Amino acid sequence: MQFGIFSVGDVTTDPTTGHTPDDTERVRNMLTIAEHADAAGLDVFATGEHHNPPFVPSSPTTMLGYLAGRTTNIVLSTATTLITTNDPVRLAEEYAMLQVISDGRMDLMLGRGNTGPVYPWFGQDIRQGIPLAIENYALLRKLWTEDVVDWSGKFRTPLQGFTSTPRPLDGVAPFVWHASIRSPEIAEQAAYYGDGFLHNAIFWPMEHTAQMVNFYRQRFEHHGHGQADQAIVGLGGQVFVRKDSQKAWDEFRPYFDVAPVYGHGPSMEEFTEQTPLTVGSPQQVIDRYGKFFEQVGHYQRQMFLVDHAGLPLKTVLEQIDLLAEEIVPVLRREAEAVRPAHVPSNPPSHAERVAAARAAGTLPAAHTGAAADRWTGRTAEDDVEAADAVAR
């Protein structure tokens, strides 16, 4: 099972010191956090995508491309890539480039985001959110799996004879997660394609999360991708940890109260009771997160939000160390001990996807000759003969 952290990249004043980082400091802190997570042995780092204050990660592939050269083992991902307001052609290019640069050590999570005004900023209508997500992803897949694309749809200009570059690494597209907290249409989309489904449960009771995940599992099996319990599932959560539980509560409370994600709402007591937010000791986190599989089944990725609400960098790095040293090894060991043998322990790696494509005979065909054009199959000699014919 994979364990990682994700960042929404908020710029928030530290309520205990009054310090507000500028955008540059916040971006550089995110880079430090990702590199520290890699060194600590966590499995995944994911950045959100936002185009409005108080958030800074407007260009996930720029950040992740830099981190590909600075990290060694950690999977680089997104949380979320906006499938509704990004051009699918640009997504195909940028994430294939990231895939090549990282040597396949990446995936991406598609979603619609949580900021309504982003739609008109990029020329779209929020009322078309679901149709945009469906059509744009269909085109994105086509651009990754077909060398030459002819396409027309409702939301962008047609394509004729278009080739997205670079082509996916080893001829295999990146692994895709679809994220939604409330839309069964997105769970259905993930199931239809046999992709991963991630439910970011930081706002919701586990009963709701279980309902969404179980629907996805049923539809995954319906579409013939395997048994329901073999579907690839991820969860988002949040923790704040100290060795002493009361110290954790006392330290985190002022940050919780102003958090842009959920501040100025229910009390911390209410929120920790009603959602997966867990504030306390490492053992309390282990006890709570170690039981989630009882509600959603055995799943493959658990992500934690640890760096928002103005928490200072030093505190965030301490949170990562506590996760990596005292929590994740126990959760991983306990998850593996009860996982049925036929259920995947992790999302598929790039190497595993290449091997599966090779076994299925679905890798792109090799060049037809030394001088052949890989997209049309034509050679220079063909073009010369055609030109001669026209001249005659």
- Using one digit for the tens of pLDDT, what is the confidence trace for 48-94? 988 888 999 999 999 999 999 999 999 999 998 999 889 999 999 99
pLDDT at 320 over 70: yes
CB distance 254 to 312 below 8 Å: no
Give the closest residue to 200 by CA, choosing from 40, 35, 5. Answer: 5
Tokens of 174: 């990146």
Query: Rounded mean pLDDT of 119-141?
Result: 89
Residue 389 — φ and ψ, nearest 5°? -65, -40
pLDDT at 47 over 60: yes
Instruction: Tell me the whole-structure pTM to 2 decimals.
Output: 0.91
Structure-model confidence comparison of residues 368 and 276, the more confident one: 276
Q: Is the pLDDT of residue 391 over 60?
A: no
Q: What is the pLDDT of residue 110?
A: 94
What is the rounded distance in angstroms from the CA atom of residue 236 to the CA atom of residue 115? Answer: 19
Q: pLDDT-based confidence at 384, cuts 50/70/90?
A: very low
Q: Over 80: is that where the pLDDT of 113 sits?
A: no
Q: With pLDDT > 90 as the criterion, what percentage of the chain qualifies?
A: 80
The domain limits of the chain are: 2-361
Specify the range with the lowest mean pLDDT, choosing from 14-28, 136-150, 248-262: 248-262
**Six-digit token string for 389:** 């014919």
Of 128-132, 354-358, 378-382, the poorest mean pLDDT is in 378-382
pLDDT above 80 (res 329) = yes
User: Tokens representing 33?
Assistant: 């956090």
Residue 300 φ/ψ, nearest 5 degrees:
-110, -20
Cis peptide before 168 (omega within 30 of 0): no
Residue 202, pLDDT score: 81
Residue 362: the pLDDT is 87
Angle, CA of 332, 338 and 341, to the nearest 5°: 100
pLDDT (0 to 100) of residue 369: 36
Compute CA distances 113 → 46, 238, 364, whole Å: 14, 18, 33
Cα–Cα distance, 172 to 300 (Å, whole number): 21
Name residues whose C-beta falls within 8 Å of residue 48's C-beta, 6 or more positions apart in sequence. 6, 7, 8, 9, 55, 57, 60, 78, 79, 80
What number is the average pLDDT over the span 335-358? 96
Residue 254 CA to residue 219 CA, distance in Å, equals 42
**Amino acid 205: pLDDT:** 86
Q: Does domain 2-361 sit in CATH 2.30.42.10?
A: no
Match 């014919």 to its residue by tokens: 389
Q: Are strands 81-82 and 2-7 parallel, antiparallel or unpaired?
A: unpaired
The average pLDDT across 238-251 equals 97
Q: How confident is the model at residue 368 (pLDDT cuts 50, 70, 90)?
A: very low
- Where does 250-372 show beta strands of DSSP type E? 278-280, 301-305
Where is pLDDT greater, at 70 or 375? 70
